[in-house]
């Protein structure tokens, strides 16, 4: 039988009805309407279930006309039920009578009547993108196509623009022996493309060895080269259930978007490798499990999650602060006066630098409310600084020299402000609010619990610590950092956490500096 005799001229692309600028990309549809004509796998890893996930994972609108029902799981197929082909024809008609189909993916067809119904529909509708995955047997080895229907499937190939056989299916389509070398498989792919006028995606999934290449072979002149090979490493997993279904649906979807088979495969192959690599997290079944179609989608951060993690990171530093001689001396009143004076002088210097950095946060802030918050805080720092000089430092003799820890802390904050990232800067300035507010609250509570002892040398200072306005400002700063983290990329979130932890360490050192440097 000649395959060429059944070759039909398929237009490369058909115009879209009522194209709107928003719906079209340079090459095709932004959200293509993709129809999977395939069997159902109730365990969700292959068949239309995999097709719909794969279409959605690539930004398409998925539809499914079911050819057959299977009873299967990751271990195998226990039953197949093929409804009357006339009912499939009704499903297909219902779709195309109403909906423009941008791309079609064809999977399990079951028997010759089903193939005939699909053929009739394709000849009538002529979708612009048709990908045929010539499903014969499941990964488990169970048949999904009657042997008697193989000839009908062969004759369907010319109606597709791309056919995606694995090594066994490639051999069946040519009525040849199954090849086990890549070179021989590529030669078979070339023969199939030449005989059918259909592009062939030869898949290396069933090869031995550590590499897992795929290749596109087009009829003469269709691709940029005779063979476009996309190399790939084999992912060490037995979770390959549904890889062929997922690949072919993804190819149909991306082709409808970009209009270029090579570009589509370059996009889809790494995605599929990622889906195989991430498959273990699914823990579905005890056999050949499914792939993780949505592995590339970042889980949204819930409000409060990021700063809750920061808070956990900060706990160890807060404990370190409570354990310092400086804090114990301040609380009990035994802190040497020269250490307290050093602390005040460094605080004044620090606040001046901190104010400049907060002003930068205001300049970078994404909303006016945040801009106002940071600008107000910057102003308040300068007011506190001048108050320190007026009341606390005017009566003390202390050298107003920049200490090493103060310098390190201000340098760190200035570097964060130079990063250009509002989120990173906001995270870097947060410990000065958060740890200071917490440490101050604890010191104040202890002072009250001790009965506000008369003659305590630092009583007046300790009383300044229970400021509710500062606690409220701290809560707002935490909320702003959390909000910024939710909008940030993974890398930026990491940089935020790093900057935050460094500021926490410097908070500890700042409270310990009077002991070391006064």
Phi, psi of 84 (to 5 degrees): -55, 135
Whole-angstrom CA distances from 61 to 20, 31, 72, 92, 300 are 17, 6, 26, 16, 22
For the bound state, the minimum distance from the C-beta of residue 185 to ligand MP5, rounded and expressed in Å, comes to 17
Contact status, residue 66 vs residue 38, Cβ threshold 8 Å: yes
Query: Is residue 242 part of the contact set for ligand MP5 (CB under 6 A)?
Result: yes
For the bound state, the minimum distance from the C-beta of residue 307 to ligand MP5, rounded and expressed in Å, comes to 43
Q: Which is nearer to ligand ADP, 166 or 362 (CB)?
A: 166
Q: Which is nearer to ligand MP5, 70 or 421 (CB)?
A: 70
Q: Which of 341, 343, 469, 466 is nearest to 394 (CA)?
A: 341
Query: Is residue 517 part of the contact set for ligand ADP (CB under 6 A)?
Result: no
Q: What contacts 31, CB < 8 A, 6 or more positions away?
A: 23, 59, 60, 61
Token pair in block for residue 422: 């509002």
For the bound state, the minimum distance from the C-beta of residue 287 to ligand ADP, rounded and expressed in Å, comes to 15
Residue from 43, 74, 91, 139 binding ligand MP5 (CB under 6 A): 139
3-class state of residue 459 by DSSP: helix
Phi, psi of 290 (to 5 degrees): -80, 170
Binding-residue pattern over the window 170 to 209 for ligand ADP, x denoting contact by CB under 6 A: ---------------------------------xxxx---
Q: Which is nearer to ligand ADP, 109 or 341 (CB)?
A: 109
Q: Which is nearer to ligand ADP, 244 or 431 (CB)?
A: 244
Q: Which is nearer to ligand MP5, 60 or 165 (CB)?
A: 165
Query: Is residue 245 part of the contact set for ligand MP5 (CB under 6 A)?
Result: yes
Indicate the pairing of strand 130-132 with strand 33-40: unpaired
203: partner contacted, choices ligand ADP, ligand MP5, none (Cβ within 5-8 A by kind) = ligand ADP
Q: How far apart are CA 192 and CA 170, in angstroms?
A: 8
Binding-residue pattern over the window 253 to 272 for ligand ADP, x denoting contact by CB under 6 A: ----------------x--x
Q: Which is nearer to ligand MP5, 45 or 431 (CB)?
A: 45
- Strand order of the β-sheet with 199-203 is 77-81, 61-72, 33-40, 103-106, 130-132, 162-163, 199-203, 214-217, 227-230
Q: Which of 476, 470, 475 is nearest to 370 (CA)?
A: 476
Q: Which is nearer to ligand ADP, 43 or 240 (CB)?
A: 240
Query: Is residue 214 part of the contact set for ligand ADP (CB under 6 A)?
Result: yes
Contacts of ligand MP5 in 24-63 (CB under 6 A): 38-41, 46-47
How many Å is the Cα radius of gyration of the chain? Answer: 34
Contact status, residue 234 vs residue 209, Cβ threshold 8 Å: yes
Contacts of ligand MP5 in 402-441 (CB under 6 A): none
Looking at the DSSP bridge assignments, the partners of residue 77 are 72
Residues within the interface to ligand ADP (CB under 6 A):
166, 203-206, 212, 214, 232, 234-235, 240, 243-244, 247, 269, 272-273, 276
Residues within the interface to ligand MP5 (CB under 6 A):
38-41, 46-47, 70, 107-108, 135, 138-139, 144, 241-245
């Amino acid at each position: 039988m000649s395959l060429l005799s059944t070759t039909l001229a398929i237009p490369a692309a058909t115009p879209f009805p009522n194209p709107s600028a928003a719906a079209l990309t340079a090459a095709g549809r932004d959200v293509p309407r993709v129809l999977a004509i395939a069997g159902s796998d109730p365990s969700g890893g292959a068949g239309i279930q995999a097709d719909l996930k794969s279409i959605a994972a690539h930004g398409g609108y998925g539809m499914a006309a079911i050819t057959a029902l299977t009873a299967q799981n990751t271990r195998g197929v226990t039953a197949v039920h093929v409804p009357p082909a006339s009912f499939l024809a009704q499903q297909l008609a219902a779709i195309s009578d109403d909906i423009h189909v941008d791309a079609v993916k064809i999977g399990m067809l079951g028997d010759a009547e089903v193939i005939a119904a699909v053929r009739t529909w394709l000849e009538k509708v002529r979708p612009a993108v048709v990908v045929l995955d010539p499903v014969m047997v499941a990964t488990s080895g169970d048949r999904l196509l009657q042997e008697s229907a193989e000839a009908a499937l062969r004759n369907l190939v010319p109606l597709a623009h791309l056919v995606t056989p694995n090594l066994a299916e490639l051999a069946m389509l040519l009525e040849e022996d199954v090849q086990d070398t890549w070179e021989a498989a590529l030669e078979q792919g070339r023969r199939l493309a030449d005989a059918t006028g259909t592009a062939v995606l030869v898949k290396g999934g069933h090869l031995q060895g550590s590499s897992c290449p795929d290749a596109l072979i087009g009829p003469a002149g269709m691709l940029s080269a005779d063979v476009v090979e996309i190399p790939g490493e084999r992912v060490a997993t037995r979770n390959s259930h549904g890889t062929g279904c997922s690949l072919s649906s993804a190819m149909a979807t991306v082709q409808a978007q970009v209009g270029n088979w090579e570009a589509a495969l370059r996009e889809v192959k790494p995605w599929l490798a990622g889906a195989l690599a991430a498959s273990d997290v699914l823990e579905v079944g005890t056999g050949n499990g499914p792939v993780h179609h949505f592995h590339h989608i970042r889980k949204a951060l819930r409000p409060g999650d990021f700063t809750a993690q920061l808070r956990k990171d900060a706990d160890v530093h807060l404990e370190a602060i409570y354990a310092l001689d400086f804090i114990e001396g301040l609380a009990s009143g035994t802190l040497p006066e020269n250490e307290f004076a050093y602390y005040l002088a460094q605080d004044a210097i620090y606040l001046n630098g901190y104010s400049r950095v907060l002003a930068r946060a205001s300049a970078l802030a994404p909303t006016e409310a945040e801009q106002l918050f940071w600008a107000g805080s910057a102003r308040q720092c300068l007011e506190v600084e001048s108050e320190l000089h007026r009341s606390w430092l005017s009566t003390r003799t202390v050298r107003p020299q920049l200490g090493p820890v103060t310098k390190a802390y201000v340098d760190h904050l200035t570097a964060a402000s130079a990063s250009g990232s509002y989120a990173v800067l906001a995270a870097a300035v947060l410990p000065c609010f958060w740890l200071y507010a917490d440490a101050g609250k604890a010191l104040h509570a202890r002072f009250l619990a001790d009965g506000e002892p008369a003659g305590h040398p630092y009583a007046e200072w300790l009383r300044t610590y229970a400021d509710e306005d500062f606690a409220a400002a701290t809560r707002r700063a935490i909320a702003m950092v959390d909000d910024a983290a939710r909008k940030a990329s993974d890398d930026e979130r990491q940089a935020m956490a790093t900057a935050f932890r460094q500021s926490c360490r410097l908070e500890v050192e700042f409270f310990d500096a009077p002991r070391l440097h006064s």
